[in-house]
Amino acid sequence: GFAAAWNGPHGRDVRLAARAGAHAALAAVVGWLAALTCCVMVWLVSAPNTTGIAGPLRVAGQLWLLGHHVALDVPAGRVALAPLGFTALLIFALWHTAVAPVARPAQVAYTAFGAATGYGLAAALVAASATTGDVHPDTAQAILFAVLFALAVPTAARWRRIAGFWGPSAWVATTFRAAGAAGAILIAGGAAALAGTVSTHVPEPGWPRGAGDAVGMFLLCLAVLPNAVLWSACFALGPGFAVGTGTAVNVLSVKTGTLPLFPLLGALPRNGSRLYPYDLAFLAIPVLAGVASALVVARARHDRHGDRVRALATASAGVALAAGLAATLSGGPLAGGRMATLGPSGWATAAATLLLVGVGAAAVVLLPASALAVRRLSVRRLLRAVAVLVPRRRPAEVGAGLPAPDEDDRQQAGEQGEAAERLVEGGDPLVAEAAQTAEDAQPEEDRGDDAGVVVAGAAGQSHPQPQAGADQAADDDRGHEQALVAVDGGLGDAVVPELVGDLVDLGQPDDDVD
């Protein structure tokens, strides 16, 4: 029996299935403990003496079931509104159970079967423990949804390994990237719109005053925050959502009626028609999502035009289906009566997503002019265009801020330069060496003056204005040697080469030798 299967030819596969089942059951326990922590914390700060600990234990199981979208039958009706914040925590726990290595596609099926078995058994136990006199979970639905969760999440966590088994074409990878880009922009746009509306309506009258009630309300708002983000994204897509029977909230009209006191509901727009420009501006979010999808497809290196068409069509259809599924899971009844209809319509959201995202992306990629513009779009060209528009800083000129020389100084400098040229042409090697050293050490615009000073000193001549030369050199410690040449005209031919050699040995920069 079981021992033969455990040690038989498929024993490794059976052991992988058992390991996956144990990990999935452990993930279910972790999720239930997280729900229990929240419930016990609220119970301790609100009313610890009214009921026993059995109450929070049952409520934790009910919250765990609601996180899987399992319906709860209560005297007032049926509760099936899943707090997607807690659902994300359950998915996170299940995602990290895919740790067993798989070497064949058959082993993926074995691990999925084991995870579904372990998680389904845990769901049956939680449903049995969460039943009270007033709350009756749907046990069959609990097992079914738990099995679906355990089949989908760990298998999706192994997508890299499955892609390696399958070896999909390049356009398939482009499809997933394009769909991911469009979905990310839709979610980010919904979150930004929600943050903007909530920030303008906080605090609301529905926020409780007591510490315990405030903690419970905060945790509840945190649990349904992803629901609100998805509802906001559906509002941007056009169909909007309902906040009760006979209500509608979309970009064209708003009809809410009387609402319960809940902080997030205070961010809803007011009743009446909604044809203001800033309301219609929300439609730019799905258009941007379509443009992002088109950019991914157009920038992909596909040799055939048909690959781009297939990638774009598949990505648009995938985003539309995912948006419709997310819209359906984000809503549900909250007991009976007026709150029996909450959330967006799945099919309307999928149709609007396909229209705004898919058709917009197709127009960008398939039209010749748009496709050419998208393919030529690059970050480098964009930065170059911005750099042309930005004014450049001109470098400061040498000598800026100093008094301009008068006409006599220019004439004397010119005469000294001519005298230096005559001495060099005379053939004196010592003078030629000194002049060449001074020329190499100075910028071009200063060579005439300094060559004249050095050569004049070598010939026994004095500087025309020795006191001015001494004052200028005194302001600059590194120009001390030049001041000596300018002041002392009787240094002689033997001193100048030695002085120039000292300057060269000091290794001063060119612009420091004046």
Residue-wise DSSP of 147-162: HHHHHHHHHHHTHHHH
Domain shared by 224 and 148, yes or no = no
Q: Quick check: helix, strand or coil at residue 349?
A: helix
- Are 341 and 244 in contact by the 8 Å Cβ rule? The answer is yes
Domain shared by 181 and 143, yes or no = no
CA distances from 33 to 29, 61, 64, 116, 342 (A): 6, 9, 9, 20, 28
Number of separate domains in the chain = 3
Place of tokens 């099936």: 80
Measuring CA to CA, which residue among 289, 185, 285, 199 is closest to residue 235?
A: 285
**Digitized pLDDT (tens) for each residue of the chain, 514 residues in all:** 556 556 666 678 888 999 999 999 999 999 999 999 988 888 887 666 666 778 889 999 999 999 999 999 999 889 999 999 999 999 999 999 988 788 888 889 999 999 999 999 999 999 999 998 889 999 999 999 999 999 999 999 988 888 887 777 778 888 999 999 999 999 999 999 888 888 876 655 566 666 667 777 888 889 999 999 999 999 999 899 999 888 888 888 888 877 777 888 877 877 766 656 677 788 889 988 998 888 888 777 766 777 888 888 899 999 999 999 999 999 999 887 888 889 999 999 999 999 998 777 877 766 655 555 555 555 456 556 656 665 555 554 444 444 555 555 556 656 665 665 665 555 555 555 555 655 554 444 444 444 444 334 444 444 444 444 444 444 444 444 443 334 344 444 444 344 334 433 444 444 443 3
Domain shared by 28 and 103, yes or no = yes
> What pLDDT does 472 receive?
44
Domain shared by 199 and 294, yes or no = yes
396 inside domain: no
475 inside domain: yes
**Partner residues linked to 249 by β-bridges:** 241, 254
Read off the tokens for 337: 């009566």
The runs of H, that is alpha helices, within 200-336 are: 211-223, 225-237, 277-280, 284-299, 305-330
Measuring CA to CA, which residue among 474, 479, 472, 438 is closest to residue 455?
A: 438
Domain shared by 416 and 453, yes or no = yes
Judge residue 382's burial from the number of C-beta atoms within 10 Å of its C-beta, 0-12 exposed, 13-18 middle, 19 or more buried: exposed
Domain of 368 in residue numbering reads as 170-382
Domain boundary among 166, 185, 208: 166
Using CA atoms, how far apart are residues 215 and 41, in angstroms rounded to an integer?
A: 9
Residue 254: enclosing H or E segment and its boundaries? strand 253-255
Domain boundary among 136, 166, 196: 166
389 inside domain: no
30 inside domain: yes
391 inside domain: no
Residues with Cβ within 8 Å of residue 254, at least 6 apart in sequence: 248, 268, 269, 270, 271, 272, 273, 274
Domain shared by 178 and 192, yes or no = yes
72 inside domain: yes
Domain shared by 38 and 134, yes or no = yes
Q: Is pTM, for the whole model, over 0.75?
A: no
399 inside domain: no
Domain shared by 23 and 141, yes or no = yes
Domain boundary among 144, 166, 188: 166
Domain shared by 299 and 441, yes or no = no
> What pLDDT does 459 receive?
43
Place of tokens 């026993």: 52
Residue 342: enclosing H or E segment and its boundaries? strand 342-343
AA identity, residue 29: V
Domain shared by 50 and 139, yes or no = yes
Domain shared by 148 and 190, yes or no = no
Using CA atoms, how far apart are residues 201 and 362, in angstroms rounded to an integer?
A: 39
Domain shared by 149 and 183, yes or no = no
Residue 74: enclosing H or E segment and its boundaries? strand 72-74
> What pLDDT does 419 receive?
61
342 inside domain: yes
